[in-house]
Amino acid sequence: MSATSTSVTANDIEEAYQKIQSSVRKTPLLRSENFERRIGAKFPIYFKVESLQYTGSFKSRGALNKLLSLSEASKKKGVITASAGNHAQGVAYHSQRLGIDAKIVMPLATPLIKIKSTKQWGAEVILFGESYQEAHERALEIQKSEGREYIHAFDDAFIIAGQGTIAKEVYDECKEIELFIAPMGGGGLLAGCGTYFKEKNSKIKMVAVQADGCSNFLPSLKAGKPVTLTTSNTIAEGIAVKRMGDMTFEICRKWITETVLVSDEETAVGLLWLLENERLFVEGCGGAAVAAVLKKPELITGPTVILLSGGNLDVNLLARIIERGLAQAGRLARFELTIPDAPGTLYKILGTIAEERASIIHVSHERIFGKTTLREVQARFILETHGLDHNERVKAALKKQGWEIRFL
């Protein structure tokens, strides 16, 4: 592959694998009988656990392949890139190993764990902009002024080939694969994997998963070219890309069979499921891929591999994600009701809830600002339950005692 190549082949991906395999981890391909039972699948489902990769993400594959392609002159001048975190760590880690000076421009909202991890590999981090696109534009300005080599996060043939080595590992272990499901932001991952899978077996289906708060692929398909979104809002910051690449778009439009959009609430449920059932710690992108299958189990029409793309999740965000996931699954329930402002009333309600074996997390009274009479109060409860069915049993028990509640 030449430095100016605008296409990628399975042979390019196999060459990339030969170059990088000694410096990247061959991540496990784990069958999940738990997940198969959860969605009632008739076919085996595997997780490709790239969250266990060096630097915690698949991005180090493409970064290394690109860095190894540079001329000695380019290596001496140094490199620069823009990234929401995972590509940044891949570039920083391998640049340090190869003795290349690296600068990384990251969006202001990048999780602290990704900033710290990037700095620990010796790269200079510059925080700029509200999104990847703004960080990218700033990085290009620095590249022009300093003469550094720009390492694009996804729209580069060497990057695409490097990410495609995931597909080679999967295919080597699981030739019966019929479906590959992965998150998509800029498109480099699915462009590389799609290229490899389709050349090996054209019947393999490719499913892209995007956040509904940052879906760049479907509008691009409609327009026939990459479009730039005006807003980006998702907890899965790794796929919070307002515009996919020109090269990645052209490749992905050929190979992707279906695109599934998931909400932050659905992503949180996916993360929570992996934590509880597989003991796997992944970031929003991995949770989104699992959420897509939880949302549409009918996707599974044959042996399937779901990519858990990264594990760089900010622990400060983790608690909020878990609570959001519990609420979405009905295991944290909030309701209100109006009750007489009289001694013993609250005690009776709490007793009924206790009889239904629900745990009370929080209780509040509103006498002043609620829409009640002077002899009433508005009471709000947060409960920990077993799920939606349990919530309905609590509601029925309270109704039997004469209390009409409203879930919030």
Asked whether residue 169 falls in the same domain as residue 286, the answer is: yes
pLDDT at 3: 57
Asked whether residue 272 falls in the same domain as residue 382, the answer is: no
In a domain, 155, yes or no: no
In a domain, 77, yes or no: yes
- Given 294, 327, 360, the domain boundary residue is 327
Residues annotated catalytic, as ranges: 59, 309
Asked whether residue 315 falls in the same domain as residue 272, the answer is: yes
Asked whether residue 323 falls in the same domain as residue 196, the answer is: yes
- Rounded mean pLDDT of the chain? 93
- Given 93, 121, 150, the domain boundary residue is 150
pLDDT band at 239 (very low <50, low <70, confident <90, very high): very high
pLDDT at 94: 97
pLDDT at 288: 97
The packing angle between helices 86-98 and 112-120, to 10°, is 10
Please, which residues have CB within 8 angstroms of residue 127's CB and are 6 or more apart in sequence?
105, 106, 107, 108, 110, 115
In a domain, 194, yes or no: yes
Q: What is the pTM of this model?
A: 0.86
In a domain, 156, yes or no: no
Query: Half-sphere exposure of 153 toward its Cβ, with a 13 Å CA cutoff?
Result: 31
- Percentage of the chain surpassing pLDDT 90? 76
Q: What is the mean pLDDT of residues 19-24?
A: 97
Residue-wise DSSP of 179-238: EEEEE-SSSHHHHHHHHHHHHH-TT-EEEEEEETTS--HHHHHHHTS----S----S-GG
Q: What is the 3-state secondary structure (H, E, C) of 348-376?
A: HHHHHHHHCCCEEEEEEEECCCCCCCCCE
The count of domains in the chain is: 3
The model's pLDDT over 168-222, given as tens digits with 9 standing for 90+, comes to 999 999 999 999 999 999 999 999 999 999 999 999 999 999 999 999 999 999 9
Residues 175/44, Cβ–Cβ less than 8 Å:
no
The model's pLDDT over 107-118, given as tens digits with 9 standing for 90+, comes to 898 878 788 888
- Percentage of the chain surpassing pLDDT 70? 99
Query: Which strand (E) or helix (H) includes residue 258?
Result: strand 256-262
The model's pLDDT over 26-69, given as tens digits with 9 standing for 90+, comes to 999 999 999 999 999 999 999 999 999 989 999 999 999 999 99
pLDDT at 2: 57
Asked whether residue 355 falls in the same domain as residue 399, the answer is: yes
pLDDT at 156: 97
Asked whether residue 221 falls in the same domain as residue 349, the answer is: no
Q: For the sheet with 376-384, list strands across it.
A: 359-366, 376-384, 332-340, 406-407
Asked whether residue 16 falls in the same domain as residue 89, the answer is: no
25 vs 51: CA distance, rounded Å: 11
Residues 165/16, Cβ–Cβ less than 8 Å:
yes
In a domain, 365, yes or no: yes
For the domain that residue 394 is a member of, what is the CATH number?
3.30.70.260
- Given 275, 301, 327, the domain boundary residue is 327
Range of the domain at 122: 60-150
Asked whether residue 263 falls in the same domain as residue 221, the answer is: yes
Asked whether residue 104 falls in the same domain as residue 242, the answer is: no
Q: What is the mean pLDDT of residues 95-106?
A: 96
- CA proximity to 234, closest of 86, 132, 115, 82: 132
Asked whether residue 183 falls in the same domain as residue 273, the answer is: yes
In a domain, 158, yes or no: no
pLDDT band at 5 (very low <50, low <70, confident <90, very high): low
Asked whether residue 23 falls in the same domain as residue 43, the answer is: yes
In a domain, 196, yes or no: yes
Asked whether residue 259 falls in the same domain as residue 313, the answer is: yes
For the domain that residue 281 is a member of, what is the CATH number?
3.40.50.1100
Please, which residues have CB within 8 angstroms of residue 299's CB and are 6 or more apart in sequence?
179, 181, 207, 258, 260, 292, 293
Phi, psi of 135 (to 5 degrees): -65, -40
